[in-house]
Amino acid sequence: MAMSKCWYFSIIIATVAAAGCATRIPAIQKLPVAAEDAARAGVVARDGDLLISRGETYAALLKYLDAVKLDPYSEVFHNKLAIAYTKLNYYDRALEAIRRSLGLSGQYPYGYNTLGTIQMLQGKRSAALRSFQRAIHLSPGNAFFYLNLASAHLEKNEGDKAMEALRQALALDPEVLTRQGGIGVQSASVQFSGSNQNYFLARLYAERGQDQRALDFLRKALSAGFTDVEKLWTDREFEKLRETQEFKDLLEEFGITDRPRPGRVS
């Protein structure tokens, strides 16, 4: 698949600040695009969106490549291309595409969110954290950005900061977690799942008084292998829930009948 034809750009080197950490990103000078080409690019990109929503990621990738050929100066199309590459685990290509997106618009929040997602998947946790923070700075009303930020904090074992980011996400959109699997092609997302993530969500919903959701996520956490069960007796968010029969039945379901002694993990 020939890639070089896509990238005939005039490039000026500029510094793009990412949440207090300067990152060298080539700024791309936008040139005029014929109206018919721009319109056709939009149609092709929407075809890609439909394909990716069906799980046909490779076919979507080809559509986004066609879109950026027709309109090489759209940060949105390059962001979509980066997301498709990310879904296919082509992280180097994804980074190339998202750097071009941010080069075209250094104030594009979705670009920073996608950059952070790629960095998370590459294990670059601190860099990802800065990228998500930059995305939030540019678009503070986006709940998915806060969800990704929470994931980054959890990866760095910053539980309190993760909880605060989750609170912000749910305050902006109480249903954000039910939509994270289908949030659209413009937003990349680190899947907020796994034992620790689900445990934090159980704490958060218990804190909000949403007992059934708290129990549902606690079940997911235990099913996924959460073992630090001492926290079930010490985390203040479960104080009221611990008195319910549903909580006791859930623990019994997983063979947790006694509070573990200090220093012992069940």
In a domain, 181, yes or no: no
Amino acid at 79: N
pLDDT in the model for residue 191:
57
Which domain does 80 fall in, by range?
9-140
Sole residue written with tokens 């199309």: 77
pLDDT in the model for residue 178:
72
**Whole-structure pTM value:** 0.80
CATH at residue 121 = 1.25.40.10
Say if CB 176 and CB 170 are below 8 A apart.
yes
Q: Please state whether 158 falls in left (phi above 0), alpha (psi between -120 and 50) or beta.
A: beta
Residue 13 predicted with pLDDT over 50:
no
- DSSP 8-state symbol, 192: -
Rounded-to-integer distance, Cα 173 and Cα 104, Å = 30
In a domain, 41, yes or no: yes
Q: What is the pLDDT of residues 115-164, one digit of tens each?
A: 999 999 999 999 999 999 999 999 999 999 998 999 899 888 898 899 99
In a domain, 235, yes or no: no
Q: What is the pLDDT of residues 51-71, one digit of tens each?
A: 999 999 999 999 999 999 999
In a domain, 20, yes or no: yes
Say if CB 217 and CB 236 are below 8 A apart.
no
In a domain, 191, yes or no: no
The total number of structural domains that make up the chain: 1
In a domain, 170, yes or no: no
Say if CB 177 and CB 220 are below 8 A apart.
no
In a domain, 145, yes or no: no
Q: What is the mean pLDDT of residues 213-221?
A: 93
DSSP states of 192-261? --SHHHHHHHHHHHHHTT-HHHHHHHHHHHHHTT---TTHHHH-GGGTTGGGSHHHHHHHHHTT--SPPP
Helix (H) / strand (E) containing 17: strand 10-18
In a domain, 179, yes or no: no
